[in-house]
Structure formats: structure tokens, C-alpha cells
Structure 1
Amino acid sequence: MGSTRLRRPLAPSNAERARSIASRGGHAAVVGLDQTQRVVPLLHHMDPDGAATLLLPTDHELMTCVREGPRSGLPAMLELTDTAPVALREPVRGLLWISGWLVAPGPTYARRLALDVAEKRPHPRLLDLGHGASLLRLRPGSAVIADAEGTGPLAPAELSAASPDPFCQLENGWLQHLEEAHPDVFSSLARHLPEPLRQKSGCRIRPLGVDRLGIRLRVEAEDGDHDVRLAFESSADTAEQLRAQVGLLVGCPFRAAH
């Protein structure tokens, strides 16, 4: 008989994970081509296809560079950092890079963009538009996602066709509550860890993320951190289904992990 190969648990696609990172917001920075300059916008919002609206001080050097740059736009990259829902010693759990061209929209288009952002994600800083702050628009060319599930390139059409995970806006509060009020859940989940991790002493199991296909754990050990995905029995689309799937994992010792 041949050796048995462990199957990697199913995870959301690269595009779905990227859309989830964008929907959560997170920390954003505009990175120049030389990788040395990082500009943190006052506000950012990404559309489904990766196009982004950025609010910056009107007198910022980047605003001047874009206005005086080529008509096709100034090459740049927007970096979105996705962090864990609880305080981990290594808090970054994913990165999304959108490469494209920065352009400065005219006053009429800028107001329309601001209204569009306000409908989706109201923010008081939008009131500063025209009063010390101006908008830039990133036209996307390509994207790259990198997290514990893998690294891969994405086209704007792939991003636009995908949907964010149904729990991407809820997972932070839910996992924070789970760790604070129900730490026994993670003690029960420990039995699903790969054998080498189960044998380590002094490990601490922390919540890293949850999505429709499984729960992600961070195992903090003396020799470093290890990310593990536990797959659900079936996809969860509602909060009730999510609770049921986590309950199955807590109560059943025979689940695949990586």
C-alpha cells in the first residue's frame, strides 16, 4: 500500500480572501516604486475590482507628485495589512497589494466618489474634502495576496467576481468573546492539531480567524508560531450554521488539520 497523504483543508479562494481583507479595512499605506516611501492616507476605500479611493492632506507631497505626473497616472502600490482579532505576538495575518496608477480626480468626480464611499462606509474625515483634504484614485492593474493559506496574483476581474466571506465583518468580535469568555473551546480544539504540535510543551492556542469553511488557529510555541486551519464539516453561511460547525469541531476529535 502507498503512503497516505494528508489533504490540505479547503479554504476560501485567493480572490475571496482578498475581498475579505479589503472589506475589513485594516491599515493602508501607499508604497512608492522604490519601496522606501510609505504614505498612510487619512481614509481609504477599495471597490470590488481593486480600485481605491484615498483621502490625503491637500498639501501632501504625494498629491503634488500625482498632479504634476503623467496623465496616465503615477505608478504606485496600495498595501492593505490584515491583523488578527486578538493581541498576538505576531499580529499580521495577511497582506494585500494592489498595483496600479494614482490619478487626481477633478472636483465634480471627487465629490461623487466621496458620496459613494459615504454610502458604503460613512466616515467623518470625508467632510474634510475641499477643506484641507483631497482625493486620489488608484486605478488597479494587478493584485497579490499573501497569508497563511498561500500567495497568489489576482486580476481586477477576479476580485470583482468574488464576494467577501459572510463573516469577515463579524469575526473579530466573535473570536474576541470566544477567547475571553470560553477559553475551554480552544482546549477542546487542541486535539485536532497535527501530532508534532500536540507534543510541544508550553503552547498557547489563540484564535486567528474564522470563515465559512473553517476556523484558523495560531499556536504560539517556544520555537515560533504555527498557523493551523480546522475544516468544517460543511460550509457555513449563517451565524447559526457557524455555531453548529464550531460545535462539531469541539465535540468531535477526528478532524483534518494542517
Structure 2
Amino acid sequence: MTDRPPIPGPAERARTIAARGPASLLPPLPGLPPVATDPRPDRVAPLLHYVHQDASVSVLLPDDHPLATGAPVITMVEMVDMAPVPLREPVRGLLWITGRIRALPEATARALAVDLAALRPDPRLLDLGHGATLCCLEPLSLVVADADGTHPLTPDEFAAAEADPFCDQEAGWLRHLEVSHTDVLHTLRRHLPDHLRGGHLRPLGLDRYGLRLRVEAIEGDHDVRLAFERPIATLEELSAELRRMVGCPFLAMRSAG
């Protein structure tokens, strides 16, 4: 029996989704204390969100949103891992962080906004105190779900992991591969099982352990992982692994920055 190639662990996948995924707030969970003015507000995309290493989530909401004006309540932040190229099924994974959300006192919110601006500058932080309220979700549980299964995590497990080293560059690289290196995708077909080689091959994902491809066929879609010989951490190592896969000494990935 062939050993399965290594893949990022659930906590690493969760950290990667948290680092780049768009987020939405789900309504307060049934059976738990409701927001005073509206017990079932619609799913809402926050003005801004940031997931901290301890799995707490800073959320910027309009001043008049029930979650910003009501008493603390148990709710959920959902983050979606979307494929960077247009696919028939673009969602690659989901991360749910459930916890108690509350609006922060003004002085605390302003101090946190300064810290957030240093980590990830965003002009929307300037709306704090001018139509927007900064809230904090304190995590109680986390669940990551993707093609490799559904896995519950503790905040400590989340905190101990790191996002994939290529999480910020992956989208640009895969779009570059799709648009500028169709010949490479064609060559990679030789690594696929015979019954999948006739489908439309698309780049699906990239991490330190390998390249993921989506085979779109009339009978359905199939995902395939092409493992690297060893975990990689730099652009040079990535280019070397892709050259090995396609047998081309001149292929190089450009910087996405």
C-alpha cells in the first residue's frame, strides 16, 4: 500500500484560510441569548475583519448593526477559501469560528485599531468612531472543512500552527500558471491517472507540500494533488519543483508581488 503524500494539517489549513479568506457573520445561534434589538439578523459581511493568532476575531461593523449595539451574544464567523481562478465549484474550504461577540469600549477599540493598522493597513479602520464600531469575537470552538475532511480545532491548536508560507502569493502564481503556462498544465497531465487525462485541467491550489489540480470533465470534477519531493519554503524551491514535474529546465515562477 502506497503511503499518502503529506499535506498541511488541519490547524495549518485553518490558519491559511483565516489569513486570506473573506468573512461573514452568521446570525446568533438558536437557543442562545439573542441580540436585544434583532434576534435573527441576516448574514452580514463585516466592513473589515482580522483573525488573531489566538483565534479571536476583530470585526468592524456599522454602528447601527445589532451585533454592535446589543448585549454580547454567541455567534459565528465563517471564512471561505475561494479558488483564485474561475472554477465551476470555486469553494475549496471553510473555517467556522464560534464565540461570544461584543462591542469594545472606545479606548480599547482605538488602541486595537492602531495595532491592526500596523499589521495590515486598511483605510476602513479610519471609519472607527465615524459610523463604525470595532467588535471582538472571543473563540469557543473552531471547525475547518475542506476536501480532506471536517476537523474541530481548539484555539490552542490554531495558535500553535502557522499559515502556509505561500498563502499570500498563491493566487497570483496560479493565475499566472493558468494564463501564461498552459503548456505546463498540458505537460502535467502525464502525472494523472489515465481516466482523468481527457478532462480540462485547471490549477486549484498550491502549498508547501504540493500542487493541486482540478480536472473538469463532463461526468464531474476530480481533484488531484501532485506532491513535491520535499516541503518547500521559497520561490526558488517552487520553481525547481515545477521544473522537475514538467521536465523543463527553463520554467520559472515570477513573483506575484
TM-score (norm 1): 0.88
Instruction: Name stretches of at least 5 consecutive residues in structure 2 with no aligned partner.
Output: 31-39, 249-257
In 2: Cα distance, 1:248 partner to 1:146 partner: 31
Residue among 28, 35, 50 paired with 2:23: 28
Is the partner of 1:208 in helix, strand or coil? strand
Report what 1:12 is aligned to.
Answer: 8
CA–CA distance in structure 2, aligned partners of residues 161 and 124 of structure 1: 30
Aligned-pair distance for 1:64?
2.3
CA RMSD, aligned part only? 1.6
> Once the 2 structures are TM-superposed, how far is the Cα of residue 16 of structure 1 from its aligned partner?
0.7
CA contact 1:28–1:41 (8 Å) conserved in 2: yes
Moved more, 187-196 or 239-248: 187-196
Residue matched to 2:210:
214
CA distance in 1, matches of 2:232, 2:201: 23
Contact 2:78 2:94 in 1 (8 A): yes
Q: Deviations over 1:81-107 (max 9, x none)?
A: 110111111111111000111011101
Q: Report the Cα offset of residue 36 of structure 1.
A: 7.9
**1:37 maps onto 2:42 in alignment:** yes
Q: CA deviation at 1:10?
A: 0.9
Q: State the partner residue of 2:190.
A: 191
> Does structure 1 retain, via aligned residues, the 8 Å contact 2:46–2:61?
yes
- Cα deviations across residues 4-62 of structure 1 (Å, max 9, x unaligned)? x34322101111111111111x2211112149831210000000121000001001122
The higher-RCO structure (CA 8 Å, 6+ apart) is 1
**Partner SS, residue 8 of structure 1:** coil
Q: CA deviation at 1:111?
A: 0.7
Inter-partner Cα distance in structure 1 for 2:218 and 2:53: 40
Do the aligned partners of 1:11 and 1:149 also contact (CA within 8 Å) in 2? no
* Cross-structure match for 2:34: none
Contact 2:209/2:232, CA 8 A, preserved across alignment: yes
The secondary structure found in structure 2 opposite 1:176 is helix
The Cα shift of 1:149 comes to: 2.4
Q: CA deviation at 1:140?
A: 0.5
Q: Calculate percent identity across the aligned residue pairs.
A: 55
Whether the aligned pair in 2 keeps the contact of 1:50 and 1:140 (CA below 8 Å) is yes
Following TM superposition, by how much is the alpha carbon of 1:186 offset from its aligned partner in structure 2, in angstroms?
1.0
In the other structure, the counterpart of 1:164 is 163
State which drifts further: 87-96 or 188-197: 188-197
Give 1:145's aligned amino acid. V
